[in-house]
């Protein structure tokens, strides 16, 4: 029987999602990488036939159910919802507009969790299901100027704990993953890590932790964070 593993990376057009796609391919995985409808991967990725690209917008439920039908059941060893947004100038709760708050919460909480719930049937019984969290969601980290963004990652962590509790009788490992501060369009050029280091570390963490079951809040160095 083939031990070839298959991952679905949601939000892979650029930044960490593209880096995760490359790191998984380098580690021998098959990868289904999603971009938003009308978009594409921002770089050409050599994969030797191990990469396919699909279209999904986490804020468009029809694109989620359509991909769910194409993948089928029990196919994925890893479902990784990387897609996320932030507002460039911070998003303090005292001044944020309704539309900006809705945009951050829908994109970072409702959309990713819809993907997790809809595609849970697509994962194997010992798969990993990861979302991209942030160390800012840890109670060890002091509040900052990104109130709505940080609140969105705290909410995402809570909802992952909830889905993990409802699947506690399975060997699926749910992971709230922390990439560090990474040089991407979101992280900016002052960030401390390059995408290759962060994404490579996340793939190693997932490979080390997959199959243990339960729920983890863990970073790219495989260190656990306090909720």
Among 22, 57, 138, 225, the residue binding ligand NAP under the rule CB under 6 A is 57
Interface residues for ligand NAP in 61-90 (CB under 6 A)?
A: 82-85
Residue 91 lies near ligand NAP (rule: CB under 6 A): no
For residue 110 the two structure tokens come to 């409702």
Judge whether 83 and 62 are in contact, CB under 8 Å.
no
Among 47, 50, 54, 59, the residue binding ligand NAP under the rule CB under 6 A is 59
> How many of the other CB atoms lie within 10 Å of CB of 73?
12
Residues 221 and 205: their CA atoms lie apart, in Å, by 7
Among 5, 104, 111, 197, the residue binding ligand NAP under the rule CB under 6 A is 111
Residue 130 lies near ligand NAP (rule: CB under 6 A): no
Residues 49 and 77: their CA atoms lie apart, in Å, by 18
Contacts of 87 (CB under 8 A, 6+ apart): 96, 100, 104, 146, 148, 149
Find the residue with minimal CB distance to ligand NAP: 84
Residue 21 lies near ligand NAP (rule: CB under 6 A): no
Among 171, 181, 207, 222, the residue binding ligand NAP under the rule CB under 6 A is 181
Least separation in angstroms between CB 132 and ligand NAP: 4
Q: Pick from 87, 111, 107: which is nearest to 97 by CA? A: 87
Residue 16 lies near ligand NAP (rule: CB under 6 A): yes
Among 75, 118, 191, 204, the residue binding ligand NAP under the rule CB under 6 A is 191
Residue 201 lies near ligand NAP (rule: CB under 6 A): no
Residues 173 and 98: their CA atoms lie apart, in Å, by 35
Residues 199 and 29: their CA atoms lie apart, in Å, by 14
Least separation in angstroms between CB 173 and ligand NAP: 19
Cα atoms found within 13 Å of the Cα of residue 215, Cβ hemisphere only: 18
**Applying CB under 6 A, which residues contact ligand NAP?**
11, 13-17, 36, 39, 57-59, 82-85, 107, 111, 132, 134, 179, 181-182, 184-187, 191
């Amino acid at each position: 029987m083939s031990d070839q593993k298959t991952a679905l990376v949601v939000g892979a057009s650029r930044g960490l999602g593209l880096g995760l796609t490359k790191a998984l391919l380098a580690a021998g995985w098959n990868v289904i990488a999603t971009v938003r409808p009308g978009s594409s991967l921002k770089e050409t990725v050599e994969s030797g036939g191990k990469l396919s690209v699909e279209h999904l917008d986490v804020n468009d439920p029809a694109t989620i159910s359509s991909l769910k039908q194409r993948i089928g059941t029990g196919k994925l060893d890893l479902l990784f919802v990387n897609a996320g947004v932030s507002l460039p100038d911070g998003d303090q709760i005292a001044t944020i507009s309704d539309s900006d708050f809705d945009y951050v919460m829908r994109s970072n909480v409702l959309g990713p969790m819809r993907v997790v719930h809809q595609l849970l049937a697509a994962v194997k019984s010992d798969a990993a299901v990861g979302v991209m969290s942030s160390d800012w969601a840890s109670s060890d980290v002091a509040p900052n100027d990104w109130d709505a963004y940080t609140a969105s990652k705290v909410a995402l962590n809570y909802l992952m704990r909830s889905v993990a509790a409802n699947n506690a009788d399975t060997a699926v490992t749910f992971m709230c993953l922390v990439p560090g501060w990474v040089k991407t369009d979101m992280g900016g050029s002052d960030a401390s890590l390059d995408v290759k280091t962060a994404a490579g570390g996340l793939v190693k963490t997932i490979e080390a932790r997959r199959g243990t079951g339960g729920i983890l809040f863990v970073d790219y160095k495989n260190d656990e964070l306090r909720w």
